[in-house]
Amino acid sequence: MNTVQKTRILALLVFVTSLFLLLSCDIFDSQELKPIESDIIFSVQEGYRDHDSVSEPTIMLSMATEKHYGCCNWQIVSEIGVQRSQIAVHILGIYAPEICLPAFGPAQSTSFLEISEGKYSLYFYYRGVRDRYALTVTDSFVKVAGDVSQLTKPEFELFWRYPPNSFVYLCGTTTETSWICGDFLDTLSGEISLEEFEFPDSGEIPYPRLSMGHYYDMPARYFYYEKDEDFAEAGGILKSYTEDVIAQYSGVGISLTSWKNEKYRSWLFDDPE
C-alpha cells in the first residue's frame, strides 16, 4: 500500500469517525422525536444569524414540512456535516416542545452553512431514504439542481445573492400622496451618487419586491452605493425628509435596507418638535 492510498484511507476514517461523533451527541432523545409525515420543502439562500444585527449575509439552509400542525413552534431536528464538496443533512425527526404556540404552521428549521464558492453534492437522509442534489455557489447566485428526490424538494432552484454595497428602496403611500415616492428618490439621488440595477427575471431575490400594506405600494427599486458612509448619509437624508415632508401626511412609509441588514425607516424617526 503506497503513501497516497494510506492518506486516503486515513482521511476516510477521520470523516466517518467525525460523522459518528456528530450524530451521537445530539441533544434530543430520538424517542422524543415525532416522525416526518410529509415532504420537506427546503431552500439554500442568504440570510442573517440575527434579524436585527448589522452584518454581511451568510448562506443558510431552511427546511419546512409540507404538513401543517396546530403548533407553530415545532422544529425539524437534523445534523449537518460538511466534508470538502459534500454536504450531508441527516434528518432525525420533529421535536415538539412541551409549550405549544397555538398557530397553524409547518415544522421548520434553519441552519447556517459555512461554505465558500464552489460545487457541492447536497444529500438528505431519513430512515433509509437518500435524496441528492447538485449545489452551485458563486459570488452572485446559489443554484440547486435535483438528481434523486423522494422526500425533499427545493422551494426554488435559483437564488440571487445580495450584491455588495447595495440597498433596496421601498415606498408606500396613499393614492393621493404617491408623488412622494419619486420626490424622495430625486432628493436622495441629488445628494448621493447612486447606480440603479435590476435583478434577472428568473429565480428568487434576497430583497422584497415591493412594500406592503398601503393604498399605493411602489415596486421596489435597487441601487448600488460607493461606500458605507454613503448609506449612512442616505439615512440622514431620509430623516430630514421625514421631518420636512412625510410628517405632514398620514399613511406614508419609506424604508432603506442595505445588503448588511442596516435599516432606515421613516416611521421610526422621532417627530420634529
**What pLDDT does residue 146 have?**
85
Task: For residues 82 and 113, give the distance between their C-alpha atoms in angstroms, rounded to a whole number.
Answer: 8
> pLDDT of 148-177, one tens digit each?
789 999 999 999 999 999 999 999 999 999
Percent of all residues in the chain with a pLDDT value above 70, rounded to a whole number: 87
> pLDDT of 52-109, one tens digit each?
889 999 999 999 999 999 999 999 999 999 999 999 999 999 999 999 999 999 999 9
Place of cell 432523545: 29
Task: For residues 63 and 50, give the distance between their C-alpha atoms in angstroms, rounded to a whole number.
Answer: 18
Residue 15: is its pLDDT beyond 90? Answer: no
Amino acid at 107: A
